[in-house]
Amino acid sequence: DVYKWPVGSPDGGTSASQNAIGVDFSKQQQSLTGTWISPEQHTIVQERDGSRFNVVVIPNKKAAVNGGLSSVRGGTLAASLYAPDKPTANRLGAPLVYRGRDQNPTTWDDSVELVARVIKQSIDTHGPDSIFMKFFDHGGGGGGFENNWAVGKFFFNAVQSKMLSIHNRPAYNSEVHGSRDMGVPELNNAYLDAELADTIVIWGANSYETQSNYYLNHMIPNLRGDTLSKKKQMLPGEATPKARMIIADPRATTTVATAKFAAGADNVLHLQLKPGTDIALLNAIGRAVVESKWQDQAFMDSRTENFSDYQTKGLQTSRSMDDLLSEAEQVTGIARADIQKAASWIAQPKSDGKRNRTLMHY
């Protein structure tokens, strides 16, 4: 929500009827749930005619995904607005080119011609793969077209370079190509799933800090039991045990601490494995699932290939369970009791015999 009013005009009062957001500021706001305007959510801007305005940008509580929460970027949008007396007055008004030791403004025609000559010379001398390009993976408000499609067309079709990568990885590829090969592409769930899950698995991620809105607005309410009525409405006749969370991470992160606070320590399993031993731990948990025959065999038969090879090579079913768990304990540093507990929380059928609803993030 954006609020804008002239500097010098009344700012409103502390009672709910006296301010635009309808909040009673004469009382202390509830911890973590109150509405307030932080310094970074307010700024003063100046229009072209010199008139000055207060601007406040705060999260919309009616938003289905965020529910009034914001990321650091969204929560500081106001601070990024242009103001002549603030650091945001620094705006790039023209292309800059190095001449001597300094960057100096130049025209668009000059800059385009310079970049074209450098690219052409490199292609002629060293071939198209001498041009390396870094560009966006996504963007909204038209940015997706400009930063992805048009740039991609230019470098793939015109320059014909293969040396391209998107913002957060060393190549133009999937972050989870191994997972795709297993038939599980990324971004394959709805946020609602986190509210309905019986068990949430977070593997190698610190979601409290890196996906704050998703974690706080969808996972934490489930761990607190706040989504129980939604579960009963959407999953009628199904057992709804208290939600649990498994976190596999060598670090004792804020995600671990906040999950335990919300759900209780008994409902959070922190697998603090040795760095680099993820595969060994995953295979040990998978073996414990198969050993107890908790896998969805009908799904495996109809939706997968070579599952028997996975059992033989990955889960090492030719070895005794005791031998495999002993080795897994030594390699990962995770006690066999916790390995078996993780398998149980992930795959053991519920009290009514129905499959456990497990959401896995990694």
Strands (E), the chain: 2-6, 42-46, 52-57, 96-99, 102-105, 133-135, 164-166, 199-203, 244-248, 268-271, 358-361
Whether the Cβ atoms of residue 208 and residue 246 lie closer than 8 Å to each other: no
Quick one: pLDDT at residue 7? 95
Quick one: pLDDT at residue 178? 72
Closest CA to 290 of 270, 269, 313: 313
Q: Are residues 113 and 142 in the same domain?
A: no
Query: Is the C-alpha dihedral spanning 226, 229, 230, 236 positive or negative?
Result: positive
Q: Are residues 192 and 151 in the same domain?
A: no
Quick one: pLDDT at residue 84? 87
Q: Are residues 258 and 326 in the same domain?
A: yes
Q: Are residues 242 and 342 in the same domain?
A: yes
Quick one: pLDDT at residue 146? 64
The Cα 13–Cα 341 span in angstroms is: 55
Q: Are residues 43 and 121 in the same domain?
A: no
Place of tokens 């519920």: 350
CATH of the domain at 279: 3.40.228.10
Q: Are residues 262 and 330 in the same domain?
A: yes
Q: Is 273 exposed, middle or buried (0-12, 13-18, 19+ CB in 10 A)?
A: buried
pLDDT (tens digit per residue) in 345-356:
999 999 999 999
Domain, as residue range, for 97: 93-126
- Cβ neighbours for 132, distance < 8 A, ≥ 6 positions apart: 161, 163, 164
CATH of the domain at 57: 3.30.200.200
Helix 278-291 and helix 336-347, axial crossing angle in degrees, nearest 10: 60
Lookup: tokens for 142: 């038209």
> Structurally, how many domains does the chain consist of?
4
Whole-prediction pTM: 0.79
Q: Are residues 198 and 253 in the same domain?
A: yes
Q: Are residues 236 and 326 in the same domain?
A: yes
Per-residue pLDDT in tens (0 to 9) along the chain, 362 residues: 999 999 999 888 999 999 988 889 888 887 766 688 889 999 999 998 999 999 999 999 888 888 888 888 888 999 999 888 888 998 888 999 998 889 999 999 999 999 999 999 999 999 999 999 887 766 555 556 666 778 888 888 999 999 988 777 777 777 666 777 777 777 788 999 999 999 999 999 999 998 889 999 999 999 999 999 999 999 999 999 999 999 999 999 999 999 999 999 999 999 999 999 999 999 999 999 999 999 999 999 998 888 999 999 999 999 999 999 999 999 999 999 999 999 999 999 999 999 999 999 98
Lookup: tokens for 179: 């997972």
Q: Are residues 221 and 343 in the same domain?
A: yes
Share in percent of the chain as helix, strand, coil (round to 5) = 45, 15, 45
Q: Are residues 158 and 220 in the same domain?
A: no
Q: Are residues 308 and 184 in the same domain?
A: yes
Q: Are residues 109 and 151 in the same domain?
A: no
Whether the Cβ atoms of residue 222 and residue 197 lie closer than 8 Å to each other: yes
